[in-house]
Amino acid sequence: MADATLELLKELTEANGVPGYEGPVRDLVRKHLEPLGKLSQDKIGSVICQVEGSAETPKVMLAGHMDEIGFMVKHITKEGFLHFLPLGGWFDQVLLGQRVVIKTRMGDVVGVIGAKPPHLLPADQRNKVVKRKDMYIDIGATSKEEVEEAGVRPGDPVIPRADFVSLANGKTYLSKAFDDRVGVALIVSTLEQLKSFEHPNTVYGVATVQEEVGVRGATTSVRAVDPDVAIVLESDIAGDVPGIKPDESSVELGKGPTVLIYDARMIPNIKLRDFLMETAEEIEVPLQVSYIEGGATDGAAIHLHNTGVPTVVIGVAARHIHSDSSIIHRGDYDNAVKLLVEIIKRLDADKVAEFTA
């Protein structure tokens, strides 16, 4: 039997869309949201899907960012190699040997990220980390002219080339861009489920742009929506891999979605946070607590909109985040949808007023 959720995650993560170049993934997001509500867009490209419930207010914003980390062609050397700018935060050690796709006006060009081979490095440098500025993209050309003939120009976006794989246990998935296509998928799945329920509010599912370069689409789309309450949907950092201490992250794959109690740019509204935790307990959805000292989410912009918006972040844990291959657990995804639907059903005017009382 076809698994619609698996197909959605595959389609969304395999789509291209680095910050500022979200076109391909945006088309896909629009296709999925079109049947679910009224679509609009802010002027830098965030997609907003308005779903009416039994009351006009409160306005509930669900936000997930559709951009993914990638690069941009910066400069072409006369020998035919490409220097690149990062779009978003990369863990530089995962870059070497990575295959990439350059989106040019003449079509896709495949390349690989290279650096000076270890055999040619002096002994004292061989064990050192190669810096990103010493790397380049090689498309197999032998001159600048060949690169230009392939259609490559400075300003072209560069995307990791990676496909979606359902892993051996059948419960975990490997792909690029779970940060944050998993959040975008959660919006689609939740709005689909909501069609079968009454909800005392209007829901705005928002796929934001340019989160990875400083929550830019959240900053503009929150003005378009002007929400009364917001739930940010994000990938979270799994701590269940070698070398991570519980006080750095105690989040494990398959143990439920997460609620973020702290990040570098937002402290969630505590009444909303507690409401979320109580609801999860009541409906028996496992929920993990997470804290990210060195990162932020779209919540950074959303909770400071106007005079402030009660905001919380729900996450799906991913291993190897900010690389081209991360892993999530299907159970965490399904539980996140279940929790979101229940929360939205309960967010009426009185409940939302309590968060700021």
Going by C-alpha positions, the residue among 332, 7, 10, 6 that lies closest to residue 176 is: 10
Nearest approach in angstroms of CB 28 to Zn ion is 18
Q: Of 291 and 348, which CB lies nearer to Zn ion in the complex structure?
A: 291
Give the residue with the Cβ less far from Zn ion, 25 or 137: 25
For binding to Zn ion (CB under 5 A), which residues are involved?
A: 179-180
Residue 202 class from Cβ within 10 Å (0-12 exposed, 13-18 middle, 19+ buried)? Answer: buried
Among 301, 139, 280, smallest CA distance to 215 is for 301
Please state, in angstroms and rounded to a whole number, the distance separating the CA atoms of residues 298 and 316. Answer: 15
Closest to Zn ion by CB, 201 vs 219, is 219
The CA radius of gyration of the chain, in Å to the nearest whole number, is: 21
Q: Where are the alpha helices (DSSP H) in the chain?
A: 4-14, 23-33, 123-126, 144-149, 178-194, 216-225, 270-282, 299-302, 330-346, 349-355
Exactly one of 211, 234, 282, 293 is catalytic; name it: 211
Q: Find the shortest distance in angstroms from Cβ 200 to Zn ion.
A: 30
The least CB distance from residue 251 to Zn ion, in Å, is: 15
* Structure-block tokens of residue 355: 């968060």
Which CB, 180 or 192, lies closer to Zn ion?
180
- Which of 37/70 has CB closer to Zn ion? 70
Residue type, 83: H
Query: Nearest approach, Cβ of 211 to Zn ion (angstroms)?
Result: 6
Q: How far is the CB of 88 from Zn ion (least distance, A)?
A: 9
Q: Per residue in 70-84, is it b (16+ CB within 10 Å) or e — as a string?
A: bbbbeebeeebbbbb
Q: What residue number has its CB nearest to Zn ion?
A: 180
Q: Does residue 339 contact residue 285 with C-beta atoms inside 8 Å?
A: yes
* Spatial distance between the Cα atoms of 118 and 332, rounded to a whole number of angstroms: 41
Taking the complex as a whole, how short is the minimal distance between the CB of residue 47 and Zn ion, in angstroms?
16
> Is residue 211 annotated as a catalytic residue, yes or no?
yes
Residue number with CB closer to Zn ion (42 or 180):
180
Cβ 101 vs Cβ 108: under 8 Å: yes
User: Which residue, 132, 136, 129, is CA-closest to 89?
Assistant: 132
- Indicate which residues carry an active-site annotation: 211
